C-alpha cells in the first residue's frame, strides 16, 4: 500500500520504490514495533516508518531472518546500522565477502497514518472514497483454508467467518462488477504464482472475510531524502557541464 501511494505521490516519476521488508524484520522489534518473524501488524510498520523510515529493497533483500540474528547476546537495545542497509563485496585474494553498513541510505518515511472510519454511508463507501481520492488501503481479513489453498481466479463468493478468525492483511486496490456481482480487487502477499498473478477478487457488499466490517488503514508517505538526493545530483551535473563548457 505504501509503495503504491509513493508512486502516486511521485506522479510516476523515477524508479518504482520497493521498500525493504528485511529492514523492518531486522529493526522493528528493537523499537517495539512487531516481533520480527513471529508476527506484527500494519500499525507496527506505520509507527516505525513515522519515526525511522525504511530504505528500498536494494539496501537489504528479503532473507527470512529477523532481529534475533543481530541480538544473540540479548543486550542490543537498538537496531544496528548493518541491519538497516548494507553493501557487500568479495575482497582479494581469496574472494571472501565483506559487508559494511551504508551510513546514509535514502529512507522513506510516513507523514501520517489513520484508520478508515465509517462515514454516513458506511464502511464500504468510506473505503471506496479513500481509494479513489488517495490510493490503495490495507485491511485485515480472515483467510479460511478453502480460500487459501483453493483460490485460482475469479470472484470468491460470500463466505462467512468469525471475527476471531482474522489473521491476515491485504492491500485493497480497487473494485468493480462482473455479471451483476460487485467485487473488490485485492493484492495478496503470497507471490505472483498465487491467484490472479498475486491478486484476487472478493465479493463486495457482503462483508466476506470481515473485509468491510474489520479494520482498514491508510498512510501518507513522503520521499524528502530522495528529492534532496535528486536535487544534489542535478546541481552536480550542472556544475560538471559548466566546467566542460569552459574547457572548450
Largest separation between any pair of C-alpha atoms in the chain: 75
d(CA 52, CA 49): 5
**Cβ pair 215, 170 in contact under 8 A:** no
Q: 33, 67, 168, 237: which is the annotated catalytic residue?
A: 168
Q: 26, 71, 169, 188: which is the annotated catalytic residue?
A: 188
Strands 155-156 and 199-203: parallel
CB-based burial label for 236 (10 Å; 0-12, 13-18, 19+): exposed
CB-based burial label for 33 (10 Å; 0-12, 13-18, 19+): buried
Whether 78 is catalytic: no
CA angle 75, 21, 204 (to 5 degrees): 130
Whether 129 is catalytic: no
Strands 137-142 and 199-203: unpaired
Q: Could you give phi then psi for residue 84, rounded to 5 degrees?
A: -95, -50
Residues annotated as catalytic (active site), given as ranges? 168, 188
Amino acid at each position: 500500500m505504501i509503495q503504491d501511494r509513493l508512486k502516486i505521490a511521485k506522479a510516476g516519476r523515477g524508479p518504482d520504490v520497493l521498500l525493504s521488508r528485511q529492514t523492518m524484520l531486522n529493526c522493528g522489534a528493537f523499537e517495539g514495533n512487531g516481533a520480527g518473524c513471529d508476527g506484527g501488524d500494519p500499525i507496527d510498520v506505520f509507527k516505525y516508518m513515522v519515526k525511522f523510515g525504511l530504505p528500498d529493497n536494494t539496501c537489504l533483500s528479503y532473507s527470512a531472518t529477523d532481529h534475533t540474528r543481530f541480538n544473540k547476546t540479548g543486550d542490543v537495545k537498538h537496531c544496528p546500522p548493518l541491519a538497516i542497509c548494507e553493501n557487500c563485496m568479495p575482497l582479494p585474494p581469496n574472494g571472501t565477502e565483506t559487508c559494511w553498513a551504508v551510513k546514509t541510505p535514502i529512507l522513506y518515511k510516513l507523514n501520517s497514518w489513520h484508520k478508515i472510519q465509517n462515514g454516513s454511508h458506511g464502511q464500504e463507501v468510506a473505503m471506496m472514497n479513500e481509494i479513489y481520492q488517495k490510493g490503495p488501503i490495507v485491511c485485515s481479513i480472515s483467510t479460511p483454508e478453502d480460500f487459501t489453498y483453493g483460490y485460482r481466479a475469479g470472484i470468491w463468493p460470500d463466505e462467512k467467518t468469525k471475527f476471531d478468525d482474522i489473521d491476515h492483511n491485504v492491500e485493497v486496490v480497487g473494485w468493480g462488477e462482473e455479471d451483476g456481482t460487485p467485487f473488490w480487487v485485492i493484492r495478496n502477499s503470497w507471490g505472483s504464482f498465487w491467484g490472479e498473478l498475486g491478486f484476487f477478487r472478493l465479493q463486495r457488499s457482503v462483508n466476506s472475510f470481515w473485509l468491510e466490517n474489520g479494520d482498514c488503514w491508510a498512510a501518507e508517505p513522503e520521499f524528502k531524502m530522495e528529492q534532496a538526493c535528486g536535487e544534489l545530483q542535478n546541481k552536480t551535473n550542472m556544475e560538471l557541464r559548466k566546467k566542460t563548457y569552459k574547457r572548450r
